[in-house]
Amino acid sequence: MGRTASHHRGIRGSAALVTARVDPAAVAAEGLEPGEMRRLPFAGELLGAVRVRASYAAIPLEAFDRAGERLRPEEQAAYLQLLRLSWGEGRNFCRAAMRDLRVRLRLSERRLLRVLDALVSRGLVRPLHRDNRGTLWRVLLPREADGASLGDDVLVGRASTGAPPRRALAPVPDPAVRASSPRADLARALAEARGSTGPEGVAAAAREVEELLAEGQSRSRIAAAIEALRARSTQGGSSRAAEGI
């Protein structure tokens, strides 16, 4: 008994805390409304809102919430790193070298192989290709691994075959772009987010908006994707993010 007690270690600073009665007003910062940009003092800290404006990853919360229920700690760490390299870059895949993953996760090669095999067995990643740059991984969200739809919160690229076509762009914008309409506004917003506001860039953006609408994508979802692209372009990632819309 004495040996167990002597080897027990609690959380530093936690022993000084006393469990208080339930009082929602005890910590004022917990009463702030979402998006309310204030911080309030508590226990020598300022607690409250933060807003990340650059160098962030747009990853659905279910990747953290649902994956945590089914993965061991090292598996969670590897999955989150692969999500950062794929979904965090606006793609559902990434190419990662084993040596890079070992550095990120601080795992031996043998342990890393076991962890990746566990992710494959759970349907969260699939190895598709390998070359000197590393392995190409298809990274799935938990709902994809379960065979469910991605839902309305995730906008995916258009399905096509072969390499992206290198077609000549029209020298002038499409007539629909010149008119003032929600579609024209989306096209101009997409062109601006890509930094290509000339006639050719706007015309290309208009064609893509029309194709997305024809596929059944809503204007609100397209607008949300454009805003995400605009935010990513501020950190030098516009060329990568543009491939997702």
Sign, CA torsion 82/85/89/93:
negative
**132 and 182 both lie in a single domain:** no
239 inside domain: yes
**Residue-range definition of the domain harbouring residue 124:** 62-145
Q: What are the Cα distances from residue 16, in Å, to 13, 26, 27?
A: 6, 17, 17
Per-residue model confidence as pLDDT tens digits over 55-109: 888 899 989 998 888 899 999 999 999 999 999 999 999 999 999 999 999 999 9
Count of the separate structural domains present in the chain: 2
Residue 233 counted as domain residue? yes
| Residue 18 covered by a domain | no
- Looking at the fold, whether 190 and 229 belong to one and the same domain comes out as yes
* In a domain? residue 216: yes
CATH of the domain at 116: 1.10.10.10
Same-domain check for residues 66 and 141: yes
pTM, to two decimals? 0.62
For residues 181 and 141, membership in a common domain is answered with: no
Residue 8, phi-psi category: left (phi > 0), alpha (psi -120 to 50), beta (remainder): beta
Confidence band, pLDDT 50/70/90 cuts, at residue 18: confident
Domain presence at residue 26: no
Q: What pLDDT was estimated at residue 164?
A: 62
Looking at the structure, tell me whether residues 135 and 204 fall in a common domain. Answer: no
Long-range contacts of 234-239 (CB under 8 A, 24+ apart): 234/53, 234/54, 235/54, 235/55, 237/89, 237/90, 238/193, 238/194, 238/195
Is residue 112, in this structure, part of any structural domain at all? yes
List, for residues 95-123, the tens digit of each pLDDT value: 999 999 999 999 999 999 999 999 999 99
Same-domain check for residues 140 and 179: no
